[in-house]
Chains A and B, each alone.
Chain A
């Protein structure tokens, strides 16, 4: 039995963000490492140094547009469907308590009873806002330097470029190492968590990790409408191919970046 955690709209947002983030990571890394043969190999499918910049700019605009659409969608969800209480993604004091309870479990204690959203999922969700704001502002500053210097001094481009770089490295490492490890590579979800893809979440796995949510669903009577049978094999195959290839390529970017870091004049 499978449990539906996300709507198709939310899955579409996630997969579009995933693909655009991957394109930005590849083109940005290619331009950062253009002095190395690895960077030039990464840039060659996009047309080299200049082609990567063009793709980077347009996909960046697409990401900003996607972010705005998500803001409209989130506001609609919050005000129209009256999402609140345990279903909301706001940080609460209980998340801090669960974080330390989770740490206690990691050292051998008792497992905490998570609700619908764990604290790490809330952090991942709001981290995208931080990244979009920092990368968006600095990215728009660097989009057309001539227009930017009509409003800012030229040395602000130096600052924007460095902030853009560091934030990009932070975002890439957080997604490709921490998010992939927690969401896909740990034993509970291995080899891939299909909550955001076809197939949804395993009912027994959700019962084990989110017992508070399952108990609330059973008491409120919403469990039956959320349970579905598994998808056909073709859906499973497509989900695993897309998800695992992104995971492998993300780890490849991290490893390649770390191996070639000393060859770049930063």
Chain B
């Protein structure tokens, strides 16, 4: 009788223990195939299909609403980000997007047009779930057009770079702001010390008497 009770208890406990184990499924981490992504260009299913939660935090979302002609940051989530722009057909991208048009090495150095990355009309906002520029699939559908083997980390390069020395960059891109400011201070400090020093030196030598000047 006691043996029977122990056997039944073990069977019931084993059944309960097996249930959650059977439900486990190995999920590839976001970093596991990083090297393979860079080499082969193959991508995980979640990177191109809206099936499961995204491993990418949408870091490019606007932190605070941007006043852009009455359309707030909801435009970045819209299927057509320019739906309510007046006289849209006769405007250029830089008519409204003045700040992002600057400091874009893709445009100034490689002559990449805006639509080569942002696509044709209707242009979805970059945070729209099915946008090619959504961080979920930006590397595969946009960057990999030119940079073969681009990974999700590669797509985190800030194409529309804020001006590094401006005070606003301290909030939007603090690492760039502080690194550039430190380098500028080092460079200007070096010259503030050595340029007057060299000038004084050359000036003083003009008025110093010596038997012969330099190599002769």
Known: A150-B38, A163-B180, A169-B187. A186 touches B201 (CB 8 A): yes
Stretch of B63-71, B84-92, B147-155 on the interface side: B147-155
- The reply to whether the CB of A205 lies closer than 8 angstroms to some CB of chain B is yes
CB distance from A174 to the nearest CB of B (A): 7
CB distance from B104 to the nearest CB of A (A): 9
- The reply to whether the CB of A208 lies closer than 8 angstroms to some CB of chain B is yes
CB distance from B29 to the nearest CB of A (A): 15
| B38 adjacent to A146 (CB under 8 Å) | yes
Q: Report the separation of the CA atoms of residues A204 and B150 in the bound assembly, to the nearest whole angstrom.
A: 63
| A150 adjacent to B215 (CB under 8 Å) | no
| A193 adjacent to B215 (CB under 8 Å) | yes
Q: How many residues of chain A have a CB within 8 Å of chain B?
A: 52
CB-contact partner of A158 in B147, B173, B202, under 8 A: B173
Q: Report the separation of the CA atoms of residues A106 and B205 in the bound assembly, to the nearest whole angstrom.
A: 8
CB-contact partner of A208 in B191, B195, B210, B216, under 8 A: B210
Which residues on the B side are within 8 Å of A178 (C-beta)? 194-195, 198
- The reply to whether the CB of A79 lies closer than 8 angstroms to some CB of chain B is no
Dominant secondary structure at the A interface:
helix
CB-contact partner of B35 in A108, A150, A159, under 8 A: A150
- The reply to whether the CB of B204 lies closer than 8 angstroms to some CB of chain A is yes
Q: Report the separation of the CA atoms of residues A190 and B216 in the bound assembly, to the nearest whole angstrom.
A: 9
- The reply to whether the CB of A145 lies closer than 8 angstroms to some CB of chain B is yes
CB distance from B200 to the nearest CB of A (A): 4
CB distance from B35 to the nearest CB of A (A): 6
B164, closest chain A residue (CB):
A162
Which residues on the B side are within 8 Å of A126 (C-beta)? none
- The reply to whether the CB of B206 lies closer than 8 angstroms to some CB of chain A is yes
CB distance from B133 to the nearest CB of A (A): 14
Encoded as 1 (CB less than 8 Å from any A CB) or 0, chain B from 162 to 178 comes to 00100000000101100
Q: Report the separation of the CA atoms of residues A189 and B109 in the bound assembly, to the nearest whole angstrom.
A: 42
| B154 adjacent to A149 (CB under 8 Å) | yes
Which residues on the B side are within 8 Å of A166 (C-beta)? 180, 183-184, 187
CB-contact partner of A202 in B35, B173, B216, under 8 A: B216
Dominant secondary structure at the B interface:
helix
- The reply to whether the CB of B103 lies closer than 8 angstroms to some CB of chain A is yes
| A145 adjacent to B153 (CB under 8 Å) | no
| A150 adjacent to B190 (CB under 8 Å) | no
CB distance from A131 to the nearest CB of B (A): 11
- The reply to whether the CB of B34 lies closer than 8 angstroms to some CB of chain A is yes
CB-contact partner of B194 in A49, A159, A174, A191, under 8 A: A174
| A105 adjacent to B204 (CB under 8 Å) | yes
| B38 adjacent to A34 (CB under 8 Å) | no
Q: Chain A: residues with CB nearer than 8 A to chain B? A: 34-35, 49, 102-103, 105-108, 145-147, 149-150, 152-159, 162-163, 166-167, 169-170, 173-174, 177-178, 181-182, 185-194, 199, 201-202, 204-205, 208, 265-266
A-B contact pairs, 29 of them (CB 8 A): A35-B109, A49-B109, A103-B200, A146-B149, A147-B38, A149-B151, A149-B154, A153-B156, A154-B158, A155-B156, A155-B157, A155-B176, A156-B175, A157-B157, A158-B157, A159-B176, A163-B179, A166-B184, A166-B187, A167-B183, A181-B198, A181-B201, A185-B202, A187-B206, A189-B215, A191-B214, A202-B214, A204-B211, A265-B108
